[in-house]
């Protein structure tokens, strides 16, 4: 699962462990360097302490120091001249690890803290040498002709250092564990607002679309909550519109369906001479119901969301010509002169199906409300970055004070032949707004209605998103 909590924990704990490893290595190196310096300083102090004391043996002491003693020799062995403050020399806690040696000006070994000669004499200063299959660290210094050398086994020295490591590592491990727990708790607390938001949404019913509580939300989460609230508001309005739409549609469909039923009953009971008239009325009712249902479907497709429309370049001039040609038989049947005055090249961005539905509704609306012998003119021009469509008729027109209301759904001002549904202009307006366009109703000179629609021309460059209605 793609979890924010897991991501945060993995990244932060990984960074902590990496930092702990780096800190541990640096601590080890620095501690080892400091430990070695302290040990070297101890070698120096012991060497200088040895030189400050007269360790020259009594006659025969050198031989006694360089040869093994037999039982009973302790009583006869000439005692070496030990310093009065021997405790100062042997005060180091690791005294057993050090080997002290003194040579006379003539190069004769006159003192050794071991039973044998010990490591070979090295040049002055710090050096490393091999003795008894071990590596020894030595410090050699000369004073008043005498040479003192103090040595310590590297293996023993390392053992002493590694005995100190647990004391350094345990606190670091405990610190890493404590910080890991703190990181886990911090991430848990930081994600609580998201969990609270999740609970708010998860506990809601489908119909509960009121705004989420954004009190005390962090600045990183607040934009998400505000966006959700905006979406909920839009969904709530959409549901309200849909409920109103369904109620209006049910009401509008009820009338023609009831009329169809009544006309069917009348046709069934009508005498043979009147049956043809009843069937014609029934056919008219069915046509009106079909027209209303088709317009309801067009309105339902046009209203919800312009982002659902297809984004493509539409050769609108071709669509205008085709619409005029296809509706010409209907105009001729009604005795109306339908003409295309001008049709300039005009490409727009949008949905071809929706734009065609808009054209059909505009021209059909003009034909439906115009009397026989009237004239309907269609004109398409490209002006100032806009495609400008003008559809004018010689019908009854719409008074200026009622034009805004005429674009609302199910509003019928003049029914003409009685088949109007009050949806034509509402469908046109929805499609125009969905394409970031403008729509205006005007009076035709000499009487009638002129509808002007302007849509942005498709320019070069990236595709522009359609504007939501």
Is 220 part of a structural domain of the chain?
Answer: yes
Cα→Cα distances 288→151, 284, 418, Å: 116, 6, 9
Residues 294 and 314 both lie in one domain = no
* Least confident segment among 104-113, 166-175, 403-412: 403-412
Cα→Cα distances 397→187, 369, 372, 376, 442, Å: 68, 8, 15, 12, 9
Gyration radius (Cα) of the chain, Å: 52
* Least confident segment among 275-284, 427-436, 456-465: 456-465
Is 193 part of a structural domain of the chain?
Answer: no
What pLDDT score was predicted for residue 70? 37
Residues 295 and 227 both lie in one domain = yes
Mean pLDDT score, 242-249: 72
Domain holding 228: CATH number? 1.10.287
Residues 19 and 148 both lie in one domain = yes
* Least confident segment among 95-99, 164-168, 257-261, 383-387: 95-99
Residues 315 and 294 both lie in one domain = no
What domain range includes position 315? 310-469
pLDDT of residue 87 exceeding 50: no
- 143, β-bridge pairs: 146
Cα 332 to Cα 324: distance, rounded to the nearest angstrom: 12
Is 447 part of a structural domain of the chain?
Answer: yes
What is the per-residue pLDDT across 331-369, written as a single tens digit (0 to 9) for each? 998 899 999 999 999 999 988 888 888 888 899 888 988
- Cβ-contact 257, 217 below 8 angstroms: no
Q: How many domains does the chain have?
A: 3
Burial class (CB in 10 A: 0-12, 13-18, 19+), 86: exposed
| Strand (E) or helix (H) holding 84 | none
Structure tokens at 443: 């009076």
Residues 154 and 255 both lie in one domain = no
Residues 461 and 348 both lie in one domain = yes
Residues 234 and 90 both lie in one domain = no
Cα 43 to Cα 157: distance, rounded to the nearest angstrom: 12
Residues 121 and 251 both lie in one domain = no
Quote the mean pLDDT of the chain: 78
What pLDDT score was predicted for residue 251? 58
Residues 268 and 319 both lie in one domain = no
Helix (H, G, I), strand (E, B) or coil at 244: helix
Mean pLDDT score, 244-249: 70
What pLDDT score was predicted for residue 461? 41
Residues 339 and 257 both lie in one domain = no
Cα→Cα distances 314→296, 308, 403, 458, 468, Å: 24, 16, 29, 8, 19
pTM: 0.48
What pLDDT score was predicted for residue 232? 87
Residues 377 and 417 both lie in one domain = yes
């Amino acid at each position: 699962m793609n979890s924010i909590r897991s991501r945060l924990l993995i990244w932060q704990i990984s960074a902590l462990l990496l930092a702990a490893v780096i800190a541990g290595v640096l601590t080890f190196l620095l501690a080892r360097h400091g430990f070695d310096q302290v040990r070297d300083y101890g070698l120096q102090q012991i060497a200088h302490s040895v030189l400050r004391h007269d360790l020259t043996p009594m006659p025969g002491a050198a031989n006694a120091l360089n040869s093994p003693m037999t039982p009973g020799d302790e009583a006869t062995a000439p005692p070496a001249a030990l310093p009065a403050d021997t405790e100062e020399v042997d005060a180091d806690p690791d005294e057993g690890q050090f080997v002290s040696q003194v040579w006379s000006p003539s190069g004769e070994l006159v003192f050794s803290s071991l039973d044998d000669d010990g490591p070979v004499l090295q040049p002055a200063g710090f050096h490393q040498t091999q003795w008894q299959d071990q590596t020894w660290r030595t410090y050699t210094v000369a004073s008043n002709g005498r040479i003192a050398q103090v040595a310590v086994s590297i293996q023993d020295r390392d053992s002493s250092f590694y005995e100190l490591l647990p004391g350094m590592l345990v606190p670091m491990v405990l610190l890493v564990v404590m910080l890991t727990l703190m990181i886990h708790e911090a991430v848990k607390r930081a994600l609580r607002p998201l969990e609270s938001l999740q609970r708010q949404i998860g506990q809601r019913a489908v119909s509960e679309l009121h705004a989420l509580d954004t009190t005390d939300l962090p600045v990183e989460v607040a934009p998400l909550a505000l966006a959700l609230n905006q979406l909920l508001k839009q969904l709530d309005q959409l549901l309200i519109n849909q409920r109103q739409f369904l109620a209006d549609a049910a009401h509008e469909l009820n009338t023609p369906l009831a009329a169809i039923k009544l006309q069917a009953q009348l046709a069934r009971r009508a005498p043979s001479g009147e049956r043809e008239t009843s069937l014609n009325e029934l056919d008219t009712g069915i046509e009106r119901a079909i027209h209303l249902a088709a317009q309801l479907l067009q309105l339902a497709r046009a209203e919800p969301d312009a982002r659902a429309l297809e984004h493509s370049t539409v050769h609108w001039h071709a669509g205008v010509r085709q619409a005029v040609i296809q509706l010409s038989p209907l105009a001729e049947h009604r005795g109306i002169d339908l003409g295309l005055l001008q049709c300039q090249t005009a490409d727009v961005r949008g949905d071809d199906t929706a734009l065609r539905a808009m054209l059909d509704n505009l021209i059909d609306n003009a034909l439906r409300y115009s009397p026989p012998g009237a004239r309907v003119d269609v004109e398409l021009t490209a002006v100032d970055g806009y495609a400008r469509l003008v559809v004018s008729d010689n019908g009854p027109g719409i008074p200026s004070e009622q034009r805004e209301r005429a674009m609302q759904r199910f509003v019928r001002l003049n029914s003409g032949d009685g088949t109007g549904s009050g949806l034509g202009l509402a469908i046109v307006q929805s499609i125009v707004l969905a394409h970031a366009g403008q729509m205006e109703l005007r009076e035709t000179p000499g009487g009638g209605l002129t509808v002007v629609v302007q849509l942005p021309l498709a320019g070069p460059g990236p595709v522009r998103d359609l504007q939501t209605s």
